[in-house]
Amino acid sequence: MKETLSPKEGIKSLPHFPTVLIGTGKEDESNLITAAMIHVFSIDPVMVGTGISPKRHSFGLLKKYEEFTVNVPDTSMLEQLKGCGSKSGRDTDKFERFELTKGPSKKISVPGVKECPLVLECKLEKEIETGDHHWFVGEVVNATRDEEFQRDGSILYWGGEFRKPGDLLD
């Protein structure tokens, strides 16, 4: 038997997505936002995009500085990921509040998160207005990874659930 779902229920049933901290702004304006809307948009050139709502403080910072970092936390950073996804940079310095360290980027001015084992530095190429989120697509101009980094130690989120990646199938 197949159930008919509303479009919203349909997308809520998608598998969990990698969930990251997007770094925006610089110096005193540096901010972090938790984002599950993140994907690869091109392999050559290398481009990633993140879907950000115009309601977020990060939205204005992305437009202003046209650079961002994609910071991939590990499971030990779950509370920090949740915190950066519930407080706004309008009234909270999330680096200070969640004890995260600004890691200087090599090719852009927006910092990454030192505690994250994988950091991508991106220059904004395109903003795509879809519906209640706009996709900010950037070229990855530099990437840094801790030697111990393991992809299955990352955090996935969707439909209200946080998970870690499961068994390798093939």
Question: How many chain residues interact with ligand FMN (CB under 6 A)?
Answer: 22
Q: For 66-165, where are the E strands, in sequence order?
A: 67-72, 102-103, 112-113, 118-129, 134-145, 156-158, 161-163
> Interface residues for ligand FMN in 17-56 (CB under 6 A)?
19, 31, 33-37, 51-53, 56
Backbone angles phi, psi at 50, to 5 degrees: -135, 140
Q: What radius of gyration, in Å, describes the C-alpha atoms of the chain?
A: 16
Considering the rule CB under 6 A, would residue 124 count as an interface residue with ligand FMN? no
> Interface residues for ligand FMN in 79-118 (CB under 6 A)?
82, 85-90
Q: Token digits for 13?
A: 């049933």
**CB of 2 or CB of 90, closer to ligand FMN:** 90
DSSP per-residue codes, 36-73: S-EEEEETTTTEEEEEE-TTSHHHHHHHHH-EEEEEE-
User: Measured from the CB of residue 170, what is the shortest distance to ligand FMN in angstroms?
Assistant: 28
User: Measured from the CB of residue 7, what is the shortest distance to ligand FMN in angstroms?
Assistant: 18
Question: By the criterion CB under 6 A, which residues form the site for ligand FMN?
Answer: 19, 31, 33-37, 51-53, 56-58, 82, 85-90, 133, 157
